[in-house]
């Protein structure tokens, strides 16, 4: 019995070490790719970061964070792209990863927020013809996310953007949007220290919108 225990324990320890090492490798790669995305200054460097996320998602196909950031980067880049066709191509790519994210962790509020973010990006490609479908999809997912975790700051940040851009005549404008960004700011301040496995994006952009509201 003692000999069996002596044999099993090293095997278990090796397995645990291997799992930990793989997780560390994934986190390091995600952090590096995210830093590249944040510091990119042109479309070439943005796409290089996006390619890194795609390779990570291909290697860790069933990992939530790997698929999350592959989707997030494509959405983020679509908002910088000026060509409508290219925007949609990026969002087609994003949607595949969004679907994977939702299949892995459908009850995660960040999955719902990501789905809302993708829908908003689709709306922006052709607002006149897409507002009904994609703003409805955006709002329904933000509502679900709010029920799952009302303290997620990205919910209120995303809620505020369409209000900010909507004409005052139709219930929008700076004064109407400001409370959303203020609430998001307060919740961003309460976020735990940044960890790539727990999304923390949006704080800087939220502050930019809040500044525009003053």
| DSSP symbols for 97-118 | HHHHHHHH-TT-HHHHHHHHHH
Closest CA to 34 of 64, 83, 69: 69
pLDDT, residue 14, reads 38
pLDDT, residue 23, reads 59
Residue 201 φ then ψ, to 5°: -70, 160
pLDDT, residue 6, reads 54
Helix axes 109-125, 64-80, angle to 10 degrees: 20
pLDDT, residue 183, reads 99
User: Computed from CA positions of residues 132, 182, 154, 212, in that sequence, does the dihedral angle turn out positive or negative?
Assistant: positive
Q: Residue-wise pLDDT tens for the chain (214 aa)?
A: 555 555 554 444 433 344 444 557 999 999 999 999 999 999 999 999 999 999 999 999 999 999 999 999 999 999 999 999 999 999 999 999 999 999 999 999 999 999 999 999 999 999 999 999 999 999 999 999 999 999 999 999 999 999 999 999 999 999 999 999 999 999 999 998 888 999 999 999 999 999 999 8
Q: Which residues contact 125 (CB under 8 A, 6 or more apart)?
A: 78, 84, 87, 88, 91
pLDDT, residue 194, reads 83
Q: Which residue has the tokens 């919740």?
A: 187
pLDDT, residue 10, reads 46
CB 157 within 8 A of CB 183: no
CB 70 within 8 A of CB 47: no
């Amino acid at each position: 019995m003692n000999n069996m225990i002596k044999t099993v324990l090293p095997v278990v320890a090796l397995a645990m070490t291997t799992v930990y090492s793989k997780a560390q490798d994934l986190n390091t790669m995600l952090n590096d790719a995210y830093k590249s995305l944040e510091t990119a200054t042109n479309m070439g460097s943005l796409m290089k970061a996006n390619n890194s996320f795609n390779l990570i998602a291909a290697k860790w196909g069933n990992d939530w964070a790997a698929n999350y950031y592959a989707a997030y980067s494509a959405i983020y880049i679509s908002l910088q792209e000026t060509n409508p066709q290219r925007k949609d191509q990026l969002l087609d790519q994003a949607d595949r990863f969004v679907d994977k994210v939702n299949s892995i962790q459908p009850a995660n509020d960040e999955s719902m927020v990501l789905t809302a973010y993708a829908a908003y990006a689709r709306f922006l490609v052709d607002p006149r013809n897409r507002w009904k479908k994609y703003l409805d999809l955006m709002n329904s997912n933000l509502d679900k996310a709010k029920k799952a975790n009302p303290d997620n700051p990205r919910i209120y940040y995303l809620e505020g953007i369409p209000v900010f851009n909507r004409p005052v005549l139709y219930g929008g404008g700076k004064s109407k949007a400001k409370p959303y960004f203020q609430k998001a700011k307060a919740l961003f301040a309460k976020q735990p220290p940044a960890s790539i496995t727990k999304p923390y994006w949006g704080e800087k952009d939220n502050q930019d919108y809040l500044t525009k509201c003053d």
